[in-house]
Chain A
Amino acid sequence: MHLRITLFLWLLAAAPLSAQNWDKAANVELQTRLFTQDAAFPRQDDATLHASLSGELDLRWRGNDARASIIGFVRLDSVDDERNLVDFRELYWAKEGDGFEVLVGLNTVFWGVTESVHLVDIINQTDFVSDIDGEDKLGQPMLNVEIQQDWGLLSVYLMPYFRERTFAGLDGRFRPPPELLLDDAQYESGSEQRNVDVALRYSHYFGDVDIGLSYFRGTSREPRFVPADPVSPFAELVPFYDTISQVGVDLQLTRDAWLWKLEAISRDARFGQIFAAVGGLEYTFYQVAESDADVGVLVEYQYDDRNALEPFTLADNDVFVGGRLAMNDIQDTALLAGLSYDTDTGETFYNVEGERRLGDDWFFEMRLRLFTGADPGDTSFFINRDDYLQLQITRFF
């Protein structure tokens, strides 16, 4: 952590020295979360209002056949120390050749096509305290070679260092009841965080079908929670990261206003094989009622056959139904609303996301997340009282 802060400050200081060569951008974001219920567990902070302030600095450089990027961010939280963070989403240098590129450093990579859950996306660790939707990531150290030919894109990743998932601290929301000893994470690999993970991905398109095939061998990004002390299993928990190998496929068929999507993974894990899939469709009505607005309808089914010993998932036998509204106005006003319903347990997760630009430099975002229908023993019971409304304003520079 100290190393990262030092590096970040050094970069901040160094940036102006070569200012003329770098594209610079920055933003500052104020986020407020309003929790509607008291927290479930002792020592969680019952404050209704959780506020955080974060900043991001983007520096980009591009030469004839090389490029570099530095995206650093800091976050300060009013309640949970574990949400305080100094980190990088990108910190790399890349060299381009004829039909290939070699990249060294920290980068963020996204794989996949579906909306309600991202199964094949595995390169980056999730910044879970930033957002529980799993879409916020930590930069992954890597050596990455991309080969682009007529037959498609082949990407090879060697990842020499593992990033641990961020989780709420004792004060924070979205945590299991016993204390999580985050500094004592355990690994199946004897090399722990220094295990070298390997990944391969092929992606291309054939007519109106886009396809991605991927393979990963290394430390799972999803931890299990195990008792820190086997003798007193109800005391503290520690994250345990297994060694896995996983193959994934993602497919999208795009025809007229229809998008048909499928992601599936098969994972060799500690307690057997896991198969998981998510598939569905998205249909868009363009310029509804002679306005400029588009309305999209989304339906996805989530399946996961993992057992109770594996890392928990909410997306095991769930139906997701959602709608997307894009106003197509100058402010890019958009709204996404959906629910995921667990057909086994009746747990339901409601999610509303709205956004709108204000002027040229300000951006407003809203999130509403509600959890209902969980009984004691259900997977989402521990976050049952963590319903929240999030209002966020970002100033871009």
Chain B
Amino acid sequence: MRLTNTLSAVLLATVLVATSVHADNVQKGFDIAARADRTDNGFADSRVDVTMVLRNAAGQETTRSMSFTTLEKANEDVGDKSLVLFNTPRDIEGTALLSHAKILDPDDQWLYLPALKRVKRISSSNKSGPFVGSEFAFEDFTAVELNKYDYNWLREEACGELNCDVVERTPRYENSGYTRQVSWVDQTHFQIRKVEFYDRRDSLLKVLELKDYRQYDNGIWRTHLMTMTNLQTKKQTDLVYSDYEFDVGMDQNDFVKGRLARLR
């Protein structure tokens, strides 16, 4: 009897310690993600030209060029507004995708088709589908809001010349193609260096590497080379960023559907 009680007490203590350790790791994971997110806040708006390089398993390359424009929302309970405008391939020149990101609700998205001059509201429930035939899914672009995930700190380890916190994040929004993601956040500049994506069967699907970080005059860090490698298909997509322009004076009216036909 006494032995049983002792055993119960030990078990209970273990569970409590484990729970509190888990709670600590959840808080720590969130704090690291929040610091990474907030370090680069306060840019107001940004514009950047991007070259997308698609590489198949045999190494053959196709490129397309586009620009990304973003309007920052200071409130973390509201998502940013963003615009992707395609320049090449030529047959889709002028095609534009406008997104109003939400935190847990589905995003609002409109697509502009220049051949018909038609603006279409599109379903944003297609989170896991490929973005223009690339290895990036729609959610890899739109789900970068802090509160779209639950976090859990896993460990600390070296990442190149820096030291990184390894934080697991689990999507809180619906229709994600991922059970979880594991991110490496450096302890010096608080930037995400690598992300592993685990598919719905929890097997490792893709790895994203973020390189060529540069700090701008406003203190904001940005990666200029993102490489997404699909480990299952061996296909790869690079996003090569040119120099960012910040605070160019855009407002809400630059991110409305009525604007899409007047972008060029």
Q: Do A and B come from one complex?
A: yes
User: Interface on A for B, CB 8 Å cutoff?
Assistant: 23, 25, 27, 60, 62, 67, 69, 94, 96, 99, 101, 108-110, 112-113, 135, 146, 148-150, 152-153, 203, 205, 208, 210, 252, 254, 256-259, 284, 286-287, 292, 294, 328-332, 357, 360-361, 363, 394, 396-397
Q: A286-B128, A287-B128 are in contact. List 12 more A-B contacts (CB 8 A).
A: A25-B90, A99-B253, A108-B117, A113-B120, A152-B258, A254-B121, A254-B123, A259-B123, A294-B129, A329-B133, A331-B133, A363-B91
Which of B132, B258, B262 touches A203 (beta carbons < 8 Å)? Answer: B258
Contact of A256 among B121, B123, B264 (CB under 8 A): B123
Residue of B at shortest CB range from A252?
B121
Q: Does B116 contact A (CB under 8 A)?
A: yes
Residue pair B125, A286 in contact (C-beta under 8 Å):
yes
Chain A residues closer than 8 Å to B130, beta-carbon distance: 292, 328
Which residues of A lie under 8 Å from residue B122 when comparing CB positions?
A: 254
Do most interface residues of chain B lie in helix, strand or loop, or is the interface mixed? mixed
Main secondary structure on A side of the interface with B: strand
Contact A357 B89 (CB under 8 A): yes
Count residues of chain B with CB under 8 A from any CB of chain A. 36
28 pairs of residues in contact across A and B, judged by CB atoms under 8 Å:
A94-B262, A101-B262, A109-B261, A110-B118, A112-B118, A113-B121, A135-B116, A148-B258, A153-B258, A205-B257, A208-B106, A210-B121, A210-B257, A252-B121, A254-B123, A256-B106, A257-B126, A328-B129, A328-B133, A330-B54, A332-B92, A332-B132, A360-B62, A360-B63, A361-B89, A363-B91, A396-B89, A397-B90
Chain B nearest Cβ from A265, distance in angstroms: 18
Residue with the greatest number of chain A CB neighbours at <10 A, chosen from B92, B118, B122 = B118
Is A361 within 8 A of B90, CB to CB? yes
B172: which A residues are within 8 A, CB to CB? none
Compute how far the CA of A357 lies from the CA of B207 in the bound complex, rounded to whole angstroms: 28
Q: Give the residues in chain B near A108, CB-CB below 8 Å.
A: 117
Residue in contact with A258 in the complex, picked from B90, B123, B133, CB distance below 8 Å:
B123
Instruction: List residues of chain A with CB within 8 A of the CB of B129.
Output: 286-287, 292, 294, 328
B93 within 8 A of A: yes
Q: Looking at the assembled complex, report how far the CB atom of A173 sits from the nearest CB atom of chain B, in whole angstroms.
A: 24
Task: Indicate if the CB atoms of B126 and A259 lie closer than 8 Å.
Answer: no
Residues of A within 8 A of B257 (CB): 153, 203, 205, 210
- CB-based contact A148/B259 at 8 Å: yes
Kindly list the 9 A-B residue pairs having the minimum CB-CB distance in the complex, ordered from nearest.
A396-B90, A153-B258, A330-B133, A363-B91, A110-B118, A110-B117, A286-B126, A210-B121, A256-B125
Report the bound CA distance from A330 to B142 in whole Å. 21
Task: Tell me, in angstroms, the Cα distance from A67 to B261 when the chains sit together.
Answer: 12
**Contacting pair A25 B93 (CB below 8 A):** yes
Which of A99, A110, A205 touches B108 (beta carbons < 8 Å)? A205
Instruction: Look across to chain B and name the residue whose beta carbon is closest to the beta carbon of A396.
Output: B90
Contacts known (A110-B116, A148-B253, A205-B108); A357 close to B91, Cβ less than 8 A? yes
Cα distance A58–B106 in the bound complex, in angstroms: 37
Interface centre among B90, B93, B125 (most CB of A within 10 A): B90
Q: Which residues of A contact B93 (CB under 8 A)?
A: 25
Cβ contacts under 8 Å, A149 to chain B: 253
Q: Residue of A at shortest CB range from B200?
A: A290
Q: Chain B contacts of A328 at CB under 8 A?
A: 129-130, 133
Residues of B within 8 A of A135 (CB): 116
A25 to B62, CA, bound (A): 20
Q: A292, A330, A363 — which one has the most chain B CB atoms within 10 A of its CB?
A: A330
B252 interface contact, C-beta 8 A: yes
Q: Is B256 close to A, CB under 8 A?
A: yes
Q: Which A residue's beta carbon lies closest to that of B235?
A: A330
Q: For chain B, residues 94 to 145, give those with C-beta under 8 angstroms from any C-beta of chain A.
A: 106, 108, 116-123, 125-126, 128-130, 132-133
Q: Which B59-97 residues sit within 8 Å CB-CB of chain A?
A: 62-63, 88-93
Asked if A284 contacts B126 (CB within 8 A), the reply is: yes
- Taken together as a complex, chains A and B put the C-alpha atoms of A394 and B261 apart, in Å, by 23
Residue of A nearest to B233 (CB): A292
Q: Which residues of B contact A69 (CB under 8 A)?
A: 264
A109 touches B133 (CB 8 A): no
Q: In the bound complex, do residue A146 and residue B117 qualify as a contact, i.e. CB atoms below 8 Å apart?
A: no
Task: Give CA–CA (A103, B172) in the complex, Å.
Answer: 45
The CA of A256 and the CA of B120, in the complex, are separated in Å by: 15
Give the chain A neighbours of B118 by CB distance below 8 A: 110, 112
Complex CA distance for A68 and B117, rounded to whole angstroms: 16
B256, closest chain A residue (CB) = A148
When the two chains form their complex, are residues A257 and B253 in contact, meaning their CB atoms are under 8 A apart? no
**Considering residues B62, B117, B257, B261, which has the most beta carbons from chain A within 10 angstroms of its beta carbon?**
B117
Contact A360–B88 (Cβ < 8 Å): yes
Complex contacts, B106 vs chain A, CB 8 Å: 208, 256
1/0 contact string of B198-235 vs chain A (CB within 8 Å): 00000000000000000000000000000000000000
Chain B residues within an 8 Å CB radius of A148: 253, 256, 258-259
Contact with A along B232-264 (1 / 0, CB 8 A): 000000000000000000001100111101101
A396 touches B91 (CB 8 A): yes
**How far, in angstroms, from A149 to B251 measured CA to CA in the complex?**
11
Residues from chain B with Cβ under 8 Å of A94 in the complex: 262
